[in-house]
Structures are given as C-alpha cells and as structure tokens.
Amino acid sequence: MLVIFNPAAGVRRRRRFERVAGALAEAGIRFTVADTTAPGHAEALAREAVAAGERVVVAAGGDGTIAEVVNGIAGSEVRLGVIPIGTANVFAHELGLPFGAAAIAASLKRGTARLVIPGSAHFPDGRTRLFVQMLGVGLDAAVVASLNGALKRRIGKGAYVVETLRQIAAWPFPRLRLMLDGTPGEAAQVIATKGRFYGGRFVLAPEAAPDAAGLSVCVFLRGGWWSAVRAGVALPLGLLPGLDGLMRRRVAALEVAAPSGLPVQADGDLIGATPVTVTDAATRIPVVAA
C-alpha cells in the first residue's frame, strides 16, 4: 500500500497524519509513505504506483489530492484509499468515510471497495482532467483562482470566506453560455457535481450520487452581489437546493462555451479555463469505503 501525503499541508495536518500512520502500523498494515513536492506530483506518484503493481493507493489530504491520485490510477484496477485531512473533505463526507485514526486503519485493512464514477473535464487543447466531487465556473472558480494559500493553511475554511467576500465585490459576473445535453442556456454561475455536498456537508444537489451515471448541473441564473450573498446564506442553512434563481438538471454532458478564458475549478483546484465540456469519466474508481 502506498500512502501519498503532501507535507506542505501544515503542522496540524502533519500531526493528524502521523496519528493515522501510527494506527495503520498498529493494525499490522504494511505501507510506504511518499511525500509530494509540487502540484501534480501526487498524480505522478500514483501512476508510478500502478506501474509498480501496488493494489491500493491512499490519498492523505483533501479533495484536490484525491483528484490527483484518481487521475493517476484511472484505467487500472488499483483501489483508492482516503485519509481525509484536507480543508473541506467533501468527498469523504459524501461517501461517509471514517475520520478517526483507528476507524481509518480498520477500513483500509478490510479493503471493502465501492465503485464511483468520476466526472471528466475536456479542454480544447486535448487535456482531460478527472474530478471526484464537483466542477465550477463563475464566482467559486474565481475564488479558487485567487485564494491565498498561506492564509488557507493558517485558518482553513475561513480563507474561502475571506476570498469569497472579496470576489463578490470585484467579480463582474459575466454571462456564461451553456449547452445542457445540447440545449442552450445562460447562467451567472454553474456547478456540475457528482455528489450532494458542497463546501463540506452542505447540501447542493440532493439527487446526486457518486456511483450514478450523469451529472447534476446547478445553474445559477442571476448574477450580482446580492444573488451571491443570498446563495452564501442559504447554503449552510440547507436552503440552497430550493433557492429561487437556481435551476438543477440531470444531464450527461455540460458545455460552457463562452466567454472564453474564465477559470475552471474542480475539487477546489484550478484546472484550466473555458471553454470546457464536462461528462462522466470513461472509467470507474474502486474506493475503499467504511
């Protein structure tokens, strides 16, 4: 078993990881730890693990680290393990994965897997990026693109709140031109999600499931600071799915055609710029579940 860990994640996460590593050793699990050194390194390490014949590759981090590892093991039979020590850990909450050190070790020792269907973002230059939870274009992608990494390491989710408030005042809310299974539309913001949760355990798309085919696309019809504030207040209150001005659709494909050059975020990381086409991935990922 290879465990991929980002040592730049901060002292608190290092301590949490060390507690889990101790529990793995106590459970008699043989594992090797590989530290990442730069963005994209987790994917490269995962690819090397597949080539070396590893049966389980564990992502120790947040949703971005998990997505990198998924891109590295996609197309193989390698199982994905998760040690959730990120900022929001949306994917872990989505699957009901354990967070305690002993429970994580017990789950990885059992090795029971659940198949999930990642999403796939396709760019005009031929690049394809898989994501495990959600992809966004609009305000949330602008927040990710401008987020202060040092502040995120210091105050966690609070950094997103700070940057969101800044972007609400600065973002011009350009109209997005969409295609939803070939049907044209417009939006101020769009999120394509494979799961119910967003930003933690906040419900965005109650109909979504990570093992179901298709995407839940959340189209925010109205732009401007007031609409953004309303959505931000509704999310933690559990009111966002029914918010006036939000349209939810189940589709096989989403295209964000224009304007070009807008940031695209997936699983909390910047992955490219519009235009982008989003579908299910052609592969399934076996995730070691609770």
Q: What domains are there in the chain, each with its CATH number?
A: 2-111 (3.40.50.10330), 119-282 (2.60.200.40)
The mean pLDDT of the chain is 94
Binned at pLDDT 50, 70 and 90, residue 152 comes out as confident
For 104, which DSSP code?
H
pLDDT at position 290 over 90: no
- For residue 153, give the amino acid letter: R
pLDDT at 151 over 80: no
In the prediction, which pLDDT does 5 show? 95
The answer, yes or no, to whether residue 155 has pLDDT greater than 70, is yes
Separation of alpha carbons 63 and 131, rounded Å? 9
- pLDDT at position 9, please? 60
Among 74-78, 261-265, 286-290, the least confident range: 286-290
Q: What share of the chain in percent tops pLDDT 70? A: 99
| Token output for 95 | 């699957």
pTM surpassing 0.75? yes
DSSP letter for 117, please. Answer: -
| Per-residue pLDDT reduced to its tens digit, 38-50 | 999 999 999 999 9
Instruction: Give me the pLDDT at residue 236, please.
Output: 93
Average pLDDT for 162-170:
90
pLDDT of residue 125: 96
Query: What is the DSSP secondary structure assignment for residue 9, as one 8-state letter?
Result: G
**Helix boundaries (H) for 55-208:** 63-73, 90-95, 101-110, 139-146, 149-155, 158-170
